[in-house]
Chains A and B, each alone.
Chain A
Amino acid sequence: DTEVTQTPKHLVMGMTNKKSLKCEQHMGHRAMYWYKQKAKKPPELMFVYSYEKLSINESVPSRFSPECPNSSLLNLHLHALQPEDSALYLCASSQEAGLAGGANTGELFFGEGSRLTVL
């Protein structure tokens, strides 16, 4: 199984709503990532979890709250979002967060993304 599964695929929410994006992988990867991608732009890193601990927060506003309940799951809790937060949110995983060693290829595996629209 080389899949990263994201739900929901599409989400529409108002600025006062609370919602969550979910990500799951069963590849035994110890690093998981959230990226934000606007149309025709490269993905922008938001958060990195390594061994279930938050390792990188790229100065993301507090209305985005990540959570890593276990090594297979990654959530992104959304609250009081703004219309400019509308984007494709990509989850990814890799064997380790750092550079490759041994069988670690360094590759990130991406999910299909969750398309978020904030009204």
Chain B
Amino acid sequence: AQTVTQSQPEMSVQEAETVTLSCTYDTSESDYYLFWYKQPPSRQMILVIRQEAYKQQNATENRFSVNFQKAAKSFSLKISDSQLGDAAMYFCAYKGSNYKLTFGKGTLLTVNP
């Protein structure tokens, strides 16, 4: 079974600074997707960024980028120029061939003004 591990239960960052959230996963599959989802206190889960395992190039979306290391099974999220609105719970998630989206336990990000 696939597992997703987020080793940082909580992180904090100063506004305008950069923060990196860690995620590792375990799988025997070669084809899969990885996601970072954000869940603000208002609770709706929204997609931050997506990475296809077959793509070597790291995904970027504006201030958000990932460092995808397939051999190491690592998928970290970098948030640049952090904003107050980035404060949320961030979940790393894995989707393989079995229809399931497997979530890590989450990292609660606080942004300090």
Name A's B-contacting residues (CB within 8 A). Answer: 31, 33, 40-43, 45, 48, 50, 55-56, 88, 90, 92, 97-100, 105-113
Tally A-B pairs: CB < 8 A. Answer: 59
List CB contacts (< 8 Å) of B79-113 with chain A: 89, 91, 95-97, 99-101, 103-106, 108
State whether the Cβ of B11 lies closer than 8 Å to any Cβ in chain A. Answer: no
B side interface size, CB within 8 A: 26
Name B's A-contacting residues (CB within 8 A). Answer: 31-33, 35, 37, 42-47, 50, 52, 89, 91, 95-97, 99-101, 103-106, 108
CB neighbours (8 Å) of A97 from chain B are: 99
CB neighbours (8 Å) of B104 from chain A are: 42
**A55 contacts B99, C-beta separation under 8 Å:** yes
Quick one: which of B31, B35, B45, B96 contacts A43, CB cutoff 8 A?
Answer: B45
